[in-house]
Amino acid sequence: MKLPLWFLLVALAAVGGTSLGAAERNVVLFVTDDQSPDMGCYGNDTIQTPHLDALAADGVRFNHAFCTTASCSASRSVILTGIYNHANAQFGHEHSYHHFRTYDHIKSLPVLMAAAGYRTARIGKYHVGPEAVYHFEKTLPGDSRNAVQMANNCREFLSDDDKRPFFLYFCTSDPHRSGGEVPGDPYKPNPFGNKPNGYPGVTPIKYDPDKIRVHSFLPDTPTCRHELAQYYQSVSRIDQGMGRLVALLKESGHYDDTMILFTADHGIAFPGGKTTLYEGGMRIPLLVRQPYGEAQDTQCNALVNLADLTPTILDFAGALPKKHDRQGRSFLAALQEESPAGWDEVYASHTFHEITMYYPMRVVRDRQLKLIWNLAHQLPYPFASDLWAAPTWQDRYKQGPDTYYGPRTVHQYIHRPKFELYDIQADPDEAKNLIEDPQYADQIAAMKKKIKAFQAKTKDPWILKWDYE
Amino acid sequence: MKLPLWFLLVALAAVGGTSLGAAERNVVLFVTDDQSPDMGCYGNDTIQTPHLDALAADGVRFNHAFCTTASCSASRSVILTGIYNHANAQFGHEHSYHHFRTYDHIKSLPVLMAAAGYRTARIGKYHVGPEAVYHFEKTLPGDSRNAVQMANNCREFLSDDDKRPFFLYFCTSDPHRSGGEVPGDPYKPNPFGNKPNGYPGVTPIKYDPDKIRVHSFLPDTPTCRHELAQYYQSVSRIDQGMGRLVALLKESGHYDDTMILFTADHGIAFPGGKTTLYEGGMRIPLLVRQPYGEAQDTQCNALVNLADLTPTILDFAGALPKKHDRQGRSFLAALQEESPAGWDEVYASHTFHEITMYYPMRVVRDRQLKLIWNLAHQLPYPFASDLWAAPTWQDRYKQGPDTYYGPRTVHQYIHRPKFELYDIQADPDEAKNLIEDPQYADQIAAMKKKIKAFQAKTKDPWILKWDYE
């Protein structure tokens, strides 16, 4: 294994007694809300994300990063613990009557970072609980729809002359759907947080619906294009926030000693994305910009998921014991290679979104195949309130159950089989379920075994459904 | 309305300035675990419950008392808040990975009693959380399978010369199923907590399986009879605990100024009882022995449920505001009448038992009809681990799906329709679903409306399922 440059620098510093040391290993974890990898650096030439692209050019872009569950609270609990949500008890939403709560005994990332000598702060979206489990020393104020303002509000924290290194958890509410509809637009798209008068410090970047690249799992309709134009605008607002944050890191003198991770809790807020474990829900952006000019403008083909973030960050901070209780793995060493060995498989596990939306799914996915187990397949697939109301969905739904919504009909989308097997390479939109194809029988049997082993290893209560029902 | 005697005594005391007053209105709430109304005072001439019968003879026996959910944590949260479990967030079990938690903002019965000047203690089974919500000043030790020992452990609390009145929450683990099987019994019944060497201070009362009165919703098989004999023995242990508790209340001089409520969280732990909202799950014993010799040896035909306990107890304590936020109603005044007006309908609401057992049901029941809405009827009915393992169930289940288990086949028990309507008077075992009978169409429509109105009034998140799915 190639030793990372920062390691050598820190080692040298330790020997030489210069000022370089633990204090120089700061961390910014930037998490957006319901965003698929729609950015210039992921090959989209319409959307404008120059600052995110610059970050990618200065770091590592993951080509195969996934969430473990495409639901906000559940996924964030995985991000901040490195433990699957079926094992940390954040089975679904934290807020309001959903009222899911992580186990009190779990030590989360901010708590472990604080114990490792870091000062910690969070800003923006939170959506996990209880607070004692996910405690940050500071909660910075800011409009979570205005990442530029949020960045400005971090200025003092970033430039504080506190001797401890910092851990900043920066979460936008963009590009989540918001309330209402875009005034004057005949297709009545959701505004995705965009406002007629914009946001202070943000330059609104508007998109021509005709020039949008419609995701192949979505219906290429005018309504969808108008919705995606709003979503793009929301993403560009995030981009400006990242630009401002990087500028402030540079101003504070910390750009060169800070690891910046950029990702999303899960995919885009459209049926077929969010709440599903289809690729539209699972695929997320992940950029890791390492300090000291490590691995600039590289790609990494490792299959990683959000359970890996906490161990990776702890590893970077020198706070990951060799034997640890996290279910994810540190990919810190893998950052040095384009195609590191041993990263060819990911798992996903979804149980609830809203408390009324019981729909447990367990998934194993390798580079070619993906097996989805829908444990409550007898139920109609439940809809998050924002996805049910989505004009793109309603437009298709109202045309009847045989209408196509992306690769499958409305009826097929709502009524799913117990198992789904897809050849992701040949069929990236997961249109053709191969579960009955005898050619795959051995692979299916092996993948079911893998799911069960994963459940046993990660203490999944739903493992009992193999034997009962 | 006839004024209760204690009210007059207290009023007189207030006028006369004697020592009678709030301090003389103590409360004991005695709750057993998974017990149907199987007691001598409910007409069972085999089971030996002389102390419970004596309590009934000294108070009011409710003929139509029901739980709101036949699941332990959920039901106890209703007992202790007067708020349905769909509205207090204790949607299912509190312990282990189920991890359901009541809202932090809810003021529970012990907290309100403490605020009203009571000293509070609990002993035995608890099974709700968080502790801060359900805080008692004292937790008394004791083996929850030995109600005699538990009573003895309350002696000091009962006779304390603290000037405040007391509220004692006394919960047995009897007659819940326990582990293992009865040694030497060829039918391998569950021991229901019975032990070969018994319990200190308890005289084991054993039953001849041939003389058991088998509940009509259970299969009359040797296995079931042997299981029920164990259950009876467990109930007789409770009875002795009640005897000891009453003796200690008399010893302390408080029998005459204490309201004693005896009930269970829900019905018997057999398929067809616990976890269902059939009569076997919903029907519970309820005895209310009032102080000052009020309403001795009377019956009450009011339909009441466990959501009514908290308001009733607060009312008795003088701590129920006219406008209150409890979803149950005080039946304090109804205790004075055999057939009080306005108590002709109850509701029930079940959502989870274990976290993996999603099976929401909503029920309205009047004196003749009962409508059950199975919201997730597409799923197989989920089994609590103890009920699945129950020898009585396994014995029938292994004989195949068309085998009768009580009034319905194994297949029918597991696969339920969306709605079930029963004429409880003509068909108390709920064998014949009348939902398709056109004769009942108007009543069905009216009862569906009532369920929806109940959901709206009690803030039930699942109300949305009327419109979606």
Report residue A170: phi and psi, to 5°. -120, 110
Asked if A299 contacts A61 with a C-beta cutoff of 8 angstroms, the reply is: yes
Tokens of B173: 């683990």
Question: What is the mean pLDDT of the segment spanning A290-297?
Answer: 80
Cis peptide, bond prior to residue A130, ω within 30 of zero: yes
Tokens of B184: 């030497």
Chain B nearest-CA distance from A130, in A, is 11
Asked if A100 contacts A90 with a C-beta cutoff of 8 angstroms, the reply is: yes
| A97: chain B residues, CB-CB within 8 Å | 89, 459, 461
Report residue A372: phi and psi, to 5°. -110, 130
A171 catalytic? Reply is no
**Residue-level pLDDT at B463:** 98
Average pLDDT, chain A: 94
Q: Do A97 and B459 touch (CB under 8 A)?
A: yes
Say which DSSP state B353 is in: S
> Which residue from A322, A319, A292 is spatially nearest to A117, judged by alpha carbons?
A319
**Separation of alpha carbons B430 and A397, rounded Å:** 39
Asked if A468 has any chain B CB less than 8 Å from its own CB, the reply is yes
**Residue-level pLDDT at A367:** 98
Of the residues A67, A72, A154, A300, only one is catalytic, namely A72
Identify which has the larger pLDDT, A52 or A23. Answer: A52
Pairing between strand B119-124 and B419-423? unpaired
Asked if B397 has any chain A CB less than 8 Å from its own CB, the reply is no
**How many C-beta neighbours within 10 Å does residue B381 have?**
19
| A462: chain B residues, CB-CB within 8 Å | 356
Domain ranges of chain A: 26-341, 361-466
**Local confidence band at A295 (pLDDT 50, 70, 90 cut-offs):** confident
Cα separation values, B143 from A385, B92, B159, B181, B469, Å = 47, 24, 21, 20, 47
Cα separation values, B352 from B71, B72, B131, B186, B467, Å = 8, 10, 21, 34, 21
Complex ipTM value? 0.93
Tokens of A345: 């498989």
**Residue-level pLDDT at A17:** 36
**Separation of alpha carbons A52 and A246, rounded Å:** 10
Query: Could you read off the pLDDT of A308-335 as tens digits, one per residue?
Result: 999 999 999 999 999 999 999 999 999 9
Asked if A418 has any chain B CB less than 8 Å from its own CB, the reply is no
Report residue A152: phi and psi, to 5°. -60, -35
**Residue-level pLDDT at A292:** 79
> Which residue from B116, B144, B125 is spatially nearest to B27, judged by alpha carbons?
B116
**Separation of alpha carbons B278 and B408, rounded Å:** 12
Beta bridge mates, A138: A121
**Residue-level pLDDT at A49:** 98
**Separation of alpha carbons B82 and B101, rounded Å:** 16
> Which residue from A75, A126, A83, A123 is spatially nearest to A103, judged by alpha carbons?
A83
Low-confidence spans in chain B with pLDDT less than 50: 1-3, 8-23
**Residue-level pLDDT at B294:** 73
Asked if A464 has any chain B CB less than 8 Å from its own CB, the reply is yes
> Which residue from B311, B246, B276 is spatially nearest to B113, judged by alpha carbons?
B311
> Which residue from B50, B56, B22, B39 is spatially nearest to B261, judged by alpha carbons?
B56
B26-341, what's its fold?
Answer: Alkaline Phosphatase, subunit A (3.40.720)
Question: What is the mean pLDDT of the segment spanning A152-180?
Answer: 97
**How many C-beta neighbours within 10 Å does residue A367 have?**
12
Asked if B382 has any chain A CB less than 8 Å from its own CB, the reply is yes
Q: Do B461 and A97 touch (CB under 8 A)?
A: yes
Identify which of B89, B379, B383 has the shortest CB distance to residue A99: B89
Asked if A278 contacts A272 with a C-beta cutoff of 8 angstroms, the reply is: yes
Chain A nearest-CA distance from B218, in A, is 22
Q: Please report which helix (H) or strand (E) contains residue A119, including its range.
A: strand A119-124
**Residue-level pLDDT at A297:** 82
**Separation of alpha carbons B361 and B374, rounded Å:** 5
Chain B nearest-CA distance from A155, in A, is 35
Asked if B415 has any chain A CB less than 8 Å from its own CB, the reply is no
Report residue A143: phi and psi, to 5°. -80, 115
**Separation of alpha carbons A357 and B25, rounded Å:** 46
**Separation of alpha carbons A388 and A271, rounded Å:** 8
Beta bridge mates, B124: B171
**Residue-level pLDDT at B469:** 66
Pairing between strand B345-350 and B361-366? antiparallel
Residue A387 has pLDDT above 80, yes or no: yes
Q: Please report which helix (H) or strand (E) contains residue B311, including its range.
A: helix B309-316
Cα separation values, B38 from A241, A308, B236, B264, B387, Å = 68, 55, 10, 11, 19
Identify which of A99, A388, A468 has the shortest CB distance to residue B101: A99
Tokens of B23: 């301090």
Chain B nearest-CA distance from A460, in A, is 9
**Separation of alpha carbons B120 and B138, rounded Å:** 6
**Separation of alpha carbons B90 and B76, rounded Å:** 9
Tokens of B77: 């949260």
**Residue-level pLDDT at B297:** 83
Radius of gyration of the CA atoms of chain A, in A: 22
Residue A1 has pLDDT above 90, yes or no: no
Say which DSSP state A337 is in: -
Q: Which residue of A has its CA nearest to B463?
A: A356
Residue A88 has pLDDT above 70, yes or no: yes
Q: Strand, helix or coil at A151?
A: helix
Asked if A356 has any chain B CB less than 8 Å from its own CB, the reply is yes
**How many C-beta neighbours within 10 Å does residue A238 have?**
29
Angle between helices B222-251 and B50-57 (to 10 degrees): 60
> Which residue from B186, B206, B184 is spatially nearest to B194, judged by alpha carbons?
B206
The reply to whether CATH 1.10.10 applies to domain A361-466 is no
Within 8 A by CB and 6+ apart from B12, the residues are: B18, B20
Tokens of A163: 């001797």
Q: Do A461 and B99 touch (CB under 8 A)?
A: no
Q: Which residue of B has its CA nearest to A379?
A: B378
**Residue-level pLDDT at A12:** 45
**Local confidence band at A469 (pLDDT 50, 70, 90 cut-offs):** low
Q: Please report which helix (H) or strand (E) contains residue A247, including its range.
A: helix A222-251
Query: Could you read off the pLDDT of A93-132 as tens digits, one per residue?
Result: 999 999 999 999 999 999 999 999 999 999 999 999 999 9
